[in-house]
Amino acid sequence: IQVRSLLSKTDTSSDDISTFIPNPLFESMPKTSSIFNLSTTARNCAELYKSGRRISGVYTIDPDGSGAFNVYCDQTTANGGWTVIQKRMDGSVDFNRTWNEYKHGFGNLVGEFWLGLDKINRLTRNKTKNKLRVDLGVTTGKTVHPEYDWFGIGNETAKYRLYIGNITNATVSSDSLGPHRNLVFGTWDREPVDCAQRSGRGWWYGDGIKCAVFSNLNGIYPRCGSKTSADIHWAELVRTSAEGSAPSSTEMKIRPVDF
């Protein structure tokens, strides 16, 4: 199987992750942050890992035969095989986006990005066959995490409703995503509008007037000396730390439960 990669000569300035198209002009294989186009398309990063593709980077996958797209594969954390669906690390990408932007995805796959609700649905429509891991950066330079034993989201008709199992293998102080179970996704231009406008950025919010937010990893990236209810948020991130509830970095990633 021929592997083609594209690294430094790729134009990563675009804010549309669909522009990450492998280019056959570049044949070298750098060790990180690469785009790998395989002649046999895998369904997810776990299949790539099992086939020997154990370098973290951007790969092309096709979960269900409906069309290929690019994803970032984390092939090192907790034995690898993770398909990353969200990443924040420096505030370089604005997450204050419309419904359609959250639907299709935005950002830079080798930087900050949201993969896209349609793609996440295609990866997880079987609901119970994927687990979710959330890596959260803290001020010590380390990360804490929860893992959930199954995860999926509905389609657009179902407003990308969140389906999530029980928290397992956790090093965080609280389960701050579980309370959003069965809630629908909202943005400032799509219901529940009030919750999205008050809490900031697209996330899974409750219907009606109750907008309790235990987590919102798409919130405003924290600024020094600034703290609002719209900030990126995970309740009681580390109880014994001054970290409070605002992680310095986030990664949401999924992997088949039978990996």
Burial 128-138 (b: 16+ CB within 10 A, else e): eebbbbbbbbb
H helices, E strands: number in the chain: 4, 18
Residue 13's pLDDT band (boundaries 50, 70, 90)?
very low
Residue 9's pLDDT band (boundaries 50, 70, 90)?
very low
Looking at residue 191, its pLDDT comes to: 72
**β-sheet bridge partners, residue 80:** none
**Does the pLDDT at position 147 exceed 50?**
yes
Supply the pTM of this predicted model: 0.83
> CB under 8 Å to 153, separation ≥6 — which residues?
117, 120, 121, 124, 160, 161, 162, 163, 185
Looking at residue 1, its pLDDT comes to: 38
> CB under 8 Å to 11, separation ≥6 — which residues?
19
**Does the pLDDT at position 20 exceed 50?**
no
| For range 74-80, the mean pLDDT | 98
Question: pLDDT tens digit string along 179-235?
Answer: 999 999 999 888 766 777 776 689 998 765 567 778 999 988 866 545 655 788 888
Per the document, the length of the chain is 259
Amino acid symbol at 254: I
Question: pLDDT tens digit string along 227-240?
Answer: 655 788 888 775 54
Question: pLDDT tens digit string along 21-57?
Answer: 333 322 233 334 456 655 568 999 999 999 999 999 9
**Does the pLDDT at position 80 exceed 70?**
yes
Distance CA 63, CA 150 (A): 17
Residue spans of the domains in the chain: they are 45-256
Superfamily designation of domain 45-256: Gamma Fibrinogen, chain A, domain 1 (3.90.215.10)
> CB under 8 Å to 165, separation ≥6 — which residues?
128, 131, 148, 149, 150, 151
**Does the pLDDT at position 163 exceed 70?**
yes
Q: Percent of the chain scored above 90 by pLDDT?
A: 56
Read out DSSP for 114-147?
E--HHHHHHHHTTSTTEEEEEEEE-TTS-EE--E
Looking at residue 169, its pLDDT comes to: 87
**Among 185, 13, 200, which Cα is nearest to 102's?**
185
Question: pLDDT tens digit string along 88-120?
Answer: 999 999 999 999 999 999 999 999 999 999 999
